[in-house]
Amino acid sequence: MKKRFSEEQIIGALGKLSGGTSPKALSREIGVTAQTLYDWRKKYGDMDISEAKKLRALEQENVRLKRLVADLSLDVQMLKDVNSKKW
């Protein structure tokens, strides 16, 4: 899934928001809802761009590891099912 805004753009928008621009005016300017701005502020807070990139990398690694655990859990369950049958 491709995001519409990069981390650099989000951090820049949050900088404008903390600089005194009203959320309503900023949301109109960049084409998102005010709720999106609040969600970004909750997620990215006072991060700089390098920290946001590290966060994205960690989130991607987390998704990969969760998929790996799910695959291994399925394998274990299949082996238990096969092993439980009496021949």
Check pLDDT > 60 for residue 81: yes
pTM of the shown model: 0.64
CA–CA distance, 76 with 84 (Å, rounded to integer) = 12
Share of the chain above pLDDT 90, in %: 63
In angstroms, the Cα distances linking 34 to 3, 65, 83 are: 17, 33, 55
Check pLDDT > 60 for residue 2: no
Output Rg (C-alpha) for the chain, integer angstroms. Answer: 21
pLDDT bucket at 27, cuts 50 / 70 / 90 = very high
Check pLDDT > 90 for residue 87: no
